[in-house]
């Protein structure tokens, strides 16, 4: 009895699948899904571009209230892009930069953490990932400065990010300089000298690096 019932169910399912394939229904479903996905991608990119434009205007603004208003707009557009494409690291970075401009350091750091997470980081090129590590290190150093003596862990974490940054983007002179500053704070003078020397290899006339090496007695 059970065998007959199962056989009938199997035959019914087979007929349903044959009907669907004869009418190209699976193909039509997948085509619709791709169309929805493409539409979401286009909308996400549109929101990202609008957010990036707002951020650029915010940075250029000389009025504090206008700067904050535009930065908020950038965050809103970034969040809309993230809702449509949560795996796009660029939108998370945009959100982090806009939050940083508003002095929301912790929230900005959270956004960059998400951008550099395994879920999102693969959407970035090596250089872009290096730039994101550098920006995250900048945030950590700013937070360490506010924390005073309690900021040592932030500095250690920033060093890790900066080493990642210079390995992925070897021409990032600002990353080498910040790495030198971190090592100075940690009293690791030889490592600091090496970082500043690497910065000078990229920009031989860089005043900040030369002054640092003079301070460390290397020139």
Phi and psi angles of residue 73, each rounded to the nearest 5 degrees, phi first:
-60, -40
If pLDDT is split at 50, 70 and 90, which confidence band does 8 have?
A: low
Half-sphere exposure of 10 (CA within 13 A, CB side): 6
pLDDT tens-digit readout, 143-182: 988 876 667 888 999 999 999 999 999 899 999 999 999 9
SS3 state of residue 144: helix
The answer to the question of residue 120 being in a domain is yes
pLDDT band (50, 70, 90) for residue 215: confident
Q: Kindly give the interhelix angle for 105-115 and 126-147, rounded to the nearest 10 degrees.
A: 150
Domain end call among 77, 106, 124: 124
Last residue of a domain, one of 73, 90, 124: 124
| DSSP type of residue 126 | H
Kindly state whether residues 77 and 140 are assigned to the same domain. Answer: no
- Looking at the structure, do residues 102 and 183 belong to the same domain, yes or no? no
Alpha carbon dihedral 74, 132, 157, 183, in 10-degree steps, equals -120
Q: What is the CATH number of the domain that holds 57?
A: 1.25.40.10
State whether 40 and 57 are in the same domain: yes
Based on the structure, what is the number of domains in the chain? Answer: 2
Residues 63, 103, single domain; the answer is yes
Task: Specify whether 134 is located in the same domain as 120.
Answer: no
Structural domain including 92 reads: 26-124
Spatial distance between the Cα atoms of 10 and 24, rounded to a whole number of angstroms: 21
Shared domain check, 57 and 46: yes
Q: What is the pLDDT of residue 42?
A: 80
Q: Would the pLDDT of 219 be above 80?
A: no
pLDDT of residue 37: 57
- End-of-domain residue from the set 124, 141, 169: 124
* pLDDT given for residue 174 in this prediction: 95
- Dihedral, CA atoms, 62, 66, 71, 75, nearest 10 degrees? -170
pLDDT tens per residue, range 121-140: 998 999 999 999 999 999 99
Same-domain pairing of 46 and 119: yes
In sequence order, the 6+-apart residues with CB closer than 8 A to the CB of 203 are 173, 209
Mean pLDDT, range 93-110, rounded to an integer:
96
């Amino acid at each position: 009895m059970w065998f007959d019932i199962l056989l009938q169910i199997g035959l019914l399912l087979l007929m349903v699948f044959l009907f669907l394939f004869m009418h190209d229904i699976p193909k039509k479903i997948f085509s619709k899904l791709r169309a929805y996905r493409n539409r979401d991608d286009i909308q996400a990119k549109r929101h990202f571009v609008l957010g990036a434009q707002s951020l650029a205007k915010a940075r250029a603004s000389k009025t504090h209230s206008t700067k904050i208003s535009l930065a908020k707009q950038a965050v809103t557009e970034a969040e809309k892009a993230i809702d449509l494409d949560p795996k796009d690291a660029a939108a998370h970075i945009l959100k982090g930069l806009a939050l940083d401009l508003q002095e929301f350091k912790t929230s900005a750091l959270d956004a960059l953490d998400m951008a550099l997470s395994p879920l999102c980081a693969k959407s970035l090129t090596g250089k872009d990932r290096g730039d994101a590590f550098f920006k995250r290190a900048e945030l950590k150093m700013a937070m360490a400065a506010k924390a005073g003596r309690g900021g040592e862990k932030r500095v250690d974490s920033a060093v890790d990010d900066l080493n990642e940054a210079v390995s992925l983007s070897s021409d990032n002179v600002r990353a080498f300089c910040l790495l030198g500053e971190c090592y100075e704070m940690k009293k690791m003078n030889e490592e600091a000298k090496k970082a500043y020397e690497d910065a000078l290899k990229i920009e031989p006339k860089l005043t900040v690096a030369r002054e640092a090496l003079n301070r460390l007695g290397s020139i």
